[in-house]
Structure 1
Amino acid sequence: MTQPESSAPIDVTAARRPFPWGNLAAWVVVLVLAAQAAVTVATNRNFEWPVVGEWFTEESILRGLGVTLGMTVVAMVLGTAIGIVLAVARMAQSRLLSGLAGLYIWFFRGTPLLVQLIFWYNLSTLFPRLSIGIPFGPELWSWKTNDVITPLTAAIAGLALNEAAYMAEVVRGGLLSVDSGQWLTARAFGMSRARALRRIILPQAMRAIIPPTGNQLISMIKATSLVSVIAMADLLYSAQSVYNRTFQVIPLLLVAVLWYLLITSILNVVQGAIERHYARSDAEGGSAPRPAPATTEG
């Protein structure tokens, strides 16, 4: 015997959420503390904000900024190029190539960048002359080390070779993110391993390579401040040169800090846009593109 249906109406009103008093209180506390910190920094005369404004766009500071940006671009390009070669060698079937690449990565990731910069700057104490010649045979060309290793070349060599070790792992991680079946598909189309890497694997791996490369670029901007110890006239060294004359240490350090913050903030915005682009691409169609049919290259 069936039960009679109840005629009482069913309440389908959504349950009301309690007002987030705790969240509101946290916001109030944070805003009050932020306002207090801002007022303290703005009204503390020891920061000497007029001096900061005076030197912020001064010619020597802008020259140092240009050196910092130039070193960053050159070292990042060289580091990325070397890193790609190291990543491919690290994944090679040859134990010799893989071992040499692993040794390089181990050494440059395991020693401080500052020590590497100082080592390159003082290379002439170990090798007064640099030469090219036949192993165990005569020299063909020779130069004084101090003529080759200037503060600029020492800075670029130290930054680029150190960055290559980190970029190698970034690129290797991107290559490993590509499905292994892509290699088999490329070989089925008659592609060589090198061509498959260039045409199929690397384009797909870029989705995993580009975002962490942005992090490395931001880190490189800050790492260039270390070259001031080898008398390279970058942004920090330029600020130091000024406060060594004027004894206005804090405001000149603030000038350098504000420039670093401005540059890294712009790069953060660019990196965020790139990450959103690749995230949107994955959401719209995550399937990997099909390899093009093999054609005869001229």
Structure 2
Amino acid sequence: MSNTKVGAVADERPEPPTAGLTIVPRSGRFRWVPVVIVLFLAAMLTESVLLNPRFEWPLVASYFFSPAILHGLATTVWLTVLCMTLGIALGIVIAVSRMSDIPIVSGFARLYIWFFRGTPILVQLIFWYNLAALFPELGFGIPFTGITFFQANTNHIVTPVTAAILGLALNEGAYMAEIVRAGISSVDDGQNEAARALGMTRLKAMRRIILPQAMRVIIPPTGNETIGMLKMTSLVSVIALSDLLYTAQSIYSRTFETIPLLLVCCCWYLLLTSVLSVIQGRIEAHYGRGIVRAGG
């Protein structure tokens, strides 16, 4: 009897308003209009770039693999790799310190992030380059005792290379600290509790449990930061470090071939950022494999 009532109630349910209606796809009558506009603009841009003799493309090709340009390119690449590696390592330390239960440690981490994110990177580079104006001598010893174990001339230590590494790496460490902290926070607290229940120390749990799971969140912004670091290295030209841009500037200051040399820089930067984008995509796919399978 109850089954009959349930069936009757089910049969009496009102039909949805769209029942019996025929779905007609939207007319594509004007879909060709934006395509034509884009093709038209692309043709105009291509003509103005390729056929304009002032771009001097043959001269660009002649400089593209010149020894001086390749030497500057090598400086840009190794500076990017080194500063990004130091920035990531420093960012992990600062992120863990900021999440510490010790107020002095977390306060220092917050102060570090506040300062290096709050001041322009160009100002930081110039500051490190002129550090000798504040401290003519750099030393290491016991504070307030006058005992010094090591002392040297600041200009001998803080060269343009050292200033570039300090400025870029310390600045990147502040941004990476926030990225790593966001990644760690995205991992469920139960993972940390389970690791502690298994007898793992906090450092071991962070290294084996938390960070591997946080990589899925950390990798995409880290890839963007790496691409940004590659372009940010061009700022070291203001402290006379022979990177790609500084080398190009040195050449066109003698030959007055400004546009061709700047185009050479643009082409190399575009090529390198494209390679980094492909690598970033591969790494993201690697760490996102579990998510893809779960979603499929």
Normalization by structure 2: what TM-score?
0.90
Structure 1 residues 133-192: Cα deviation after superposition (integer angstroms, max 9, x where no partner) = 111121111100000000001001100000000000010000001001111111111111
* 1:72 match: secondary structure: helix
Which letter does structure 2 place at the counterpart of 1:178? V
Whether 1:22 aligns to 2:30 is: yes
Tell me the amino acid that sits aligned with residue 84 of structure 1.
I
Aligned residue for 2:41? 33
Are 2:129 and 1:121 aligned?
yes
Aligned equivalent of 1:220, options 205, 219, 229: 229
Equivalent residues in 2 for 1:91-130 (5 A)? 91-130=99-138
Match 1:54 to one of 42, 48, 62 = 62
Counterpart in the other structure of 1:182:
191
Q: Partners in 1 of 2:255 and 2:29 — Cα distance? A: 52
Which amino acid letter does the alignment assign opposite residue 197 of structure 1? M
What root-mean-square deviation, in Å, do the aligned CA atoms of Structure 1 and Structure 2 show? Answer: 1.6
Aligned: 1:284 with 2:293: yes
Q: Distance in 2 between matches of 1:280 and 1:78?
A: 28
Alignment pair present for 1:204 and 2:221: no
The reply to whether residue 63 of structure 1 matches residue 85 of structure 2 is no
CA distance, structure 1, for counterparts of residue 212 and residue 277 of structure 2: 23
Match of 1:293 in 2: none
Distance in 2 (alpha carbons) for counterparts of 1:14 and 1:221: 55
Task: Give the letter for the 1:195 counterpart.
Answer: K
Structure 2 match to 1:193? 202
Cα distance between partner residues in 2 of 1:166 and 1:262: 25
1:245 aligns with 2:251: no
Match in the other structure for 2:9: none
1:255 aligns with 2:244: no
Find the residue that maps to 1:143 and give its secondary structure: strand
1:171 maps onto 2:171 in alignment = no
For structure 1, list consecutive stretches of 5 or more residues without a partner in the other structure. 1-11, 287-298
> How far has the Cα of 1:27 moved from its partner?
1.3
1:295 alignment partner in structure 2: none
Letter in structure 1 aligned against 2:187: V
Provide the secondary structure at the position in 1 that maps to 2:260: helix
Alignment of 1:125-136 (within 5 A): 125-136=133-144
> Which segment drifts farther, 133-142 or 159-168?
133-142
How much does 1:13 deviate?
11
Q: Which of 141, 144, 154 lines up with 2:150 in the alignment?
A: 141
> How many residue pairs get matched?
276
Equivalent pair of 2:136/2:154 in contact (CA under 8 Å) = yes
**What is the match of residue 229 of structure 1?**
238
**Correspondences of 1:154-169 after superposition (within 5 Å):** 154-169=163-178
Distance in 2 of aligned mates of 1:240 and 1:220: 20
Counterpart code for 2:178: E
| 1:267 matched to 2:265 | no
For 1:180-223, what per-residue CA distance to the aligned partner results, in whole angstroms no more than 9, with x for missing partners?
Answer: 11111111111111111111111111111111110000000000
Report the identity percentage: 57
Report the residue type matching 2:270 in the other structure. Answer: L
* Structure 2 SS opposite 1:21: coil
Q: What runs of 5+ residues in structure 2 fail to find an aligned partner?
A: 1-19
Q: Which moved more, 1:260-269 or 1:21-30?
A: 21-30
**Offset at residue 18 of structure 1 (A):** 3.6
Give the SS at the match of 2:241. coil
SS of equivalent residue, structure 2 residue 100: coil
Equivalent-residue separation in structure 2 for 1:123 and 1:91 (angstroms): 31
Partner Cα separation in structure 2 for residue 23 and residue 279 of structure 1:
35
TM-score (norm 1): 0.89
